[in-house]
Amino acid sequence: MLDPEYWRDSGHVVGQAPGRGQSLFLDLGEQQWVLRPYRRGGMVARLSRSHYLWTGIERTRAFREVELTATLFDAGLPVPRPILGGVIRQGPTYQAALITQRLPQTRALAEALASHEVDAELLADVGRVIRRCHDQGLDHVDLNARNLLIDTTRQVWLIDLDRCRLRRPGRWQDANLARLGRSLERFCATSTAAAQALAEIQRGYRSEEGSGSH
Q: Which of 41, 70, 101 is the last residue of a domain?
A: 101
In a shared domain, residues 117 and 199: yes
User: Does 214 score more than 50 pLDDT?
Assistant: no
In a shared domain, residues 56 and 122: no
* Residues annotated catalytic, as ranges: 142
For the segment 29-45, what is each residue's pLDDT rounded down to a tens digit? 999 999 999 998 755 54
The tally of CA atoms less than 13 A away on the side-chain side of residue 177 is 24
Q: Which of 46, 81, 101 is the last residue of a domain?
A: 101
Residue 101 bridge partners (DSSP):
33
In a shared domain, residues 178 and 134: yes
pLDDT tier at 19, thresholds 50, 70, 90? low
- Which domain range does residue 75 map to? 4-101
pLDDT tier at 22, thresholds 50, 70, 90? confident
Mean pLDDT calculated for residue range 130-142 = 98
CATH number at residue 185: 1.10.510.10
For the segment 164-195, what is each residue's pLDDT rounded down to a tens digit? 999 999 999 999 999 999 999 999 999 999 99
> Measuring CA to CA, which residue among 36, 60, 67 is closest to residue 160?
36
SS (H, E, C) the chain: CCCHHHHHHCCCEEEECCCCCCCEEEECCCCEEEEEECCCCCHHHHCCCCCEECCCHHHCHHHHHHHHHHHHHHCCCCCCCEEEEEEEEECCEEEEEEEEECCCCEEEHHHHHHCCCCCHHHHHHHHHHHHHHHHCCEECCCCCCCCEEEECCCCEEECCCCCCEECCCCCHHHHHHHHHHHHHHHHCCCHHHHHHHHHHHHHHHHHCCCCCCC
pTM: predicted TM-score of the whole model, two decimal places: 0.91
CA gap 39, 154 in Å, rounded? 31
In a shared domain, residues 94 and 110: no
User: Does 141 score more than 90 pLDDT?
Assistant: yes
Q: Is 6 left (phi over 0), alpha (psi -120 to 50) or beta?
A: alpha
User: Of how many residues is the chain composed?
Assistant: 214
Residue 21 is predicted with a pLDDT of 56
In a shared domain, residues 185 and 96: no
Mean pLDDT calculated for residue range 1-20 = 89
In a shared domain, residues 55 and 128: no
CA gap 36, 45 in Å, rounded? 17
How far is C-alpha 184 from the chain's CA centre? 16
CB 189 within 8 A of CB 111: no
For the segment 44-100, what is each residue's pLDDT rounded down to a tens digit? 545 677 999 999 999 999 999 999 999 999 999 999 999 999 999 999 999 999 999
CA gap 111, 118 in Å, rounded? 10
For the segment 100-126, what is each residue's pLDDT rounded down to a tens digit? 999 989 999 999 999 999 999 999 999
Mean pLDDT calculated for residue range 135-148 = 97
In a shared domain, residues 96 and 121: no
Q: Which of 101, 133, 160 is the last residue of a domain?
A: 101
* Residue 82 burial (10 A CB sphere; 0-12, 13-18, 19+): buried
